[in-house]
């Protein structure tokens, strides 16, 4: 990652000092294949003065998510790509440190999509004010009680419609989405089989999240292990990966099964993710539906209430991998795409990175 030569006097604007300095990571170059640190650039710039109707948010945690890989490409998709030179897109939680907004006050904790940076100016659009004084940790609003949790909730309840006693299979099972899918399905009475990379992740899936079984697809016996773990076949597939993993589960589907296509991470670097088990869709009369969680704002309040209650009560468990400091974000993102994260991948935007006030 390059760092621009902009002077970085970090004096706070408060108490008559100079402007606050924002540190941000922008897209330096579009990847053609695997992402490397050279695709990002760290920049520093003064935070502009607010105008009426705006707030200044100090981001505390940044979420790293697989969808960011697609946004780095200039390809037709469901969302606009990040422009070269623009701040990388990303979900954040933080607090308002200045306000010229009528309904948002200094001290309010907010969740938004404010990007890979310490500070962001917002007119409030898309900001979600977080409950004050609840028992949900701030970071969880980017995971189980945030976009990944709602994704799990939507795909499970609105597409797969779990039935007690039926078998659900979920890939990337130890991750931010997969771990919630499996736990919610277990609560609904389904038998849950996860697929994850490595025995350590599989142990987490079984022991912490309570899945009935978990298959380590890296062990090289995917088809045989899947057959052994699903003696009655598979009724519901929550697909996060695609390619060979999706194919092997399609081969185990029962008649009138349902498939929620949530993500195809195996193909995010341009790898082949073709489906060879297309016949299963026909002969088993499967319902196969892709979805994008942001298309369904109507379900977010209900889903977030249920997920928040589950986390508060301890019935929904989660695990986080936290990178310390903004400059670690590119490496952590590259690790996420290689499966090095365990659970929700976050970046803590620590004060040590950028003191908010320096004495003049
Ligand atoms: N449709 C939507 O609205 C929506 C919203 C959010 C997320 N998603 C999708 O949901 C999926 C999971 O997202 P998440 O945030 O929960 O990520 P995550 O599971 O926390 O992290 C990604 C995981 O994917 C697995 N992976 C990466 N490359 C792989 C490959 N080539 N083959 C197999 N597995 C691979 C790795 O786990 P292993 O070590 O187990 O391989 C990695 O840890 C992604 O596909 C994402 O794009 C979709």
Cα 10 to ligand 1 centre (Å): 37
Structure confidence by residue, pLDDT tens digits, 204-261: 999 999 999 999 999 999 999 999 999 999 999 999 999 999 999 999 999 999 999 9
At residue 297, φ and ψ (nearest 5 deg) are -60, -25
Question: Rounded to whole angstroms, how far apart are CA atoms 88 and 63?
Answer: 11
pLDDT tens-place string over residues 210-225: 999 999 999 999 999 9
pTM: 0.93
- pLDDT less than 50: residues of the chain: 4-13, 352-353, 355-360
Percent of the chain whose predicted confidence (pLDDT) is above 90: 88
| Tokens describing residue 219 | 């062990």
Residues with CB under 6 A from ligand 1: 65-67, 148, 151, 172, 174-178, 196-197, 201, 240-241, 245, 262-263, 265-266, 291-293, 336, 339, 341
């Amino acid at each position: 990652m390059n760092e621009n030569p902009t002077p970085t006097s970090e004096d706070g604007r408060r108490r008559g000092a100079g402007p606050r300095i924002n540190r941000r990571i922008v897209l330096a170059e579009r990847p053609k294949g695997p992402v490397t640190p050279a695709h990002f650039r760290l920049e520093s710039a003064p935070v502009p003065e607010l105008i009426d109707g705006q707030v200044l948010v100090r981001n505390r945690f940044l979420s790293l998510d697989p969808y960011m890989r697609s946004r780095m490409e200039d390809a037709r998709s469901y969302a606009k790509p990040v422009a070269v030179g623009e701040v990388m897109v990303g979900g954040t939680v933080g607090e308002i440190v200045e306000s010229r907004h009528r309904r948002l006050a200094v001290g309010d904790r907010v969740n938004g999509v404010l990007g890979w940076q310490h500070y962001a100016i917002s007119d409030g659009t898309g900001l979600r004010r977080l409950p004050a004084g609840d028992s949900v940790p701030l970071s969880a609003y980017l995971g189980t009680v945030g976009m990944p949790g709602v994704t799990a909730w939507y795909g499970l309840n609105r597409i797969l419609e779990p039935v007690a006693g039926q078998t659900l299979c979920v890939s990337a099972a130890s991750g931010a989405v997969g771990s919630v899918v499996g736990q919610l399905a277990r609560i609904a009475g389904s038998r849950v089989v996860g697929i994850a990379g490595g025995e350590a992740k599989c142990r987490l899936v079984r022991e912490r999240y309570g899945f009935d079984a978990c298959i380590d697809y890296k062990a090289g016996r995917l088809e045989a292990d899947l057959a052994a773990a699903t003696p009655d076949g598979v009724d519901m597939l929550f697909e996060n990966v695609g390619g060979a993993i999706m194919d092997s589960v399609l081969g185990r589907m029962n008649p009138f099964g349902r498939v929620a296509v949530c993500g195809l991470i195996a193909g995010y670097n341009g790898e082949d993710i073709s489906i060879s088990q297309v016949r299963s869709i026909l002969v088993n009369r499967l319902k196969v539906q892709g979805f994008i969680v942001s298309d369904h704002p109507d379900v977010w309040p209900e889903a977030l209430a249920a997920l928040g209650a589950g986390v508060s009560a301890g019935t929904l468990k989660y695990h986080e991998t936290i990178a310390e400091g903004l400059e670690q974000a590119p490496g952590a993102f590259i690790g996420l795409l290689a499966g090095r994260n365990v659970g929700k991948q976050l970046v803590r935007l620590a004060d040590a990175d950028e003191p908010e006030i320096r004495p003049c």
